[in-house]
Structure 1
Amino acid sequence: MLHWGLAFLLVVQFVLGLAAEHCTTRTISEALLVVHFRLGVLILGAMLVRLALRLVLPVPKEHLSRWRRNAKGSVHGLLYLLVLALPISGHVIWVWMGADRTLVAGIQMPALFTPPNEENGRAVVWYVHVYGAWALLGVVCLHATAAGLLSMREPAFIARRIGFGRGRPQSD
């Protein structure tokens, strides 16, 4: 269910980012960005747990052609890379802005670095964050399309794989 929880959080995060960027009221935009930052930290933590589980638990054997295995590996690699890179780049932007890094109950997210006194790096990180979000949207759509097509061919396997069937598929 971590898969679906992250999927939901990513949709909310994308909408929050768009709303904050296009909001005409500054106070509302700033409030949305605070929620966006905090949710990004949660997504980063959940993604690190997901990555740890992926490395520890066996991956069910699938009988896919070589090109499909390569495509699947590439798409999943991009998903993991982007979902990890976006909260990290968001944190860098947040620190560069000098924004409040309070998460909940007074817990502070550490700055981890002191931003240099120049704007070029800040602009680059912003572009990475914004265009990375759009790239993630595209890769998620590709992933969902491929999963949908595969579920038509092997519905029971996919249902079990994403947590909606009985038991986990057996690994070889």
Structure 2
Amino acid sequence: MRASQDTRYRGPAIALHWVIAALIIAAWAIGWIMTDIPGFTPMKLRYFAWHKWLGVTVLALAVLRVLWRATHPAPPFPAALPKWERLAAEAGHGLLYLLMFAVPISGYLYSSAAGVQVVYLGVLPLPTLIAPNPTLSAMLKTVHIVCDYTLAAVVVGHLLAVVKHELIDRMPILYRMLPGRSSPPARNGARHGG
């Protein structure tokens, strides 16, 4: 039992992974919809508020995730995973963590520079960190968009790596982050050791 536990992430890490992933997808969807609505209608402003609330929530949960990770190391990669794939996975995970902070922080600063205060869940006014500045606002908008598309690309790469390991390499990687599963699935012809 202990050996299988050592190859999996623990419950809080799994919960944070899937909750943050769901919130990021929701923020992307809302961001995509809100930017296509012409003008400044009440519905568009509502979408902007929801988008910001999701971003602040992702940022708060990312802080918790980093604190958890600092005190609970990730389980080791399967022994059969080539060194270059381990390095790529570590770089990809590092970039994901960085972007989980960069996307909401750049959005928050963009909102401040645009002169729009973020009121979390419509009840908690968050501090305005930058005085209104149209030039800085335009720059931060670009930074936010670039970070957002970079995050999307890294997430797609992450998903493709999981598919490759599961379907091509027949190496059970996904179970490490699935709730409720205590051991890797049995695989015929798998390329993993033990």
> Normalized per residue, which structure has more helix?
1
Identify the match of residue 81 of structure 1 among 83, 98, 109: 98
Who wins on radius of gyration, i.e. which is larger? 2
AA aligned to 2:58 is I
Q: How does 1:99-114 map to 2 (within 5 A)?
A: 99-104=116-121, 106-111=123-128, 113-114=129-130
Normalising by structure 1, report the TM-score: 0.86
Give the share of equivalent positions with the same residue, in percent: 28
Normalising by structure 2, report the TM-score: 0.77
Q: How does 1:134-153 map to 2 (within 5 A)?
A: 134-152=149-167, 153=170
Partners of 1:35 and 1:116 in 2: how far apart? 22
Identify the match of residue 35 of structure 2 among 21, 27, 32: 21
Partners of 1:105 and 1:32 in 2: how far apart? 12
2:17 equivalent to 1:3: yes
Identify the match of residue 98 of structure 1 among 115, 118, 142: 115
Displacement of 1:109 in angstroms is 1.2
Superposition CA RMSD, Å: 2.0
User: Can you give the 5+ residue segments of structure 2 that lack an aligned partner in the other structure?
Assistant: 1-14, 185-194
Partners of 2:23 and 2:64 in 1: how far apart? 15
How many residue pairs end up in the alignment? Answer: 165
The residue that corresponds to 1:66 in the other structure is 83
Q: Which deviates more from structure 2 when the two are superposed, residues 59-68 or residues 70-79?
A: 59-68
Displacement of 1:114 in angstroms is 3.1
Partners of 1:21 and 1:3 in 2: how far apart? 27
Q: Which deviates more from structure 2 when the two are superposed, residues 98-107 or residues 44-53?
A: 98-107
3-state DSSP of counterpart to 1:26: coil
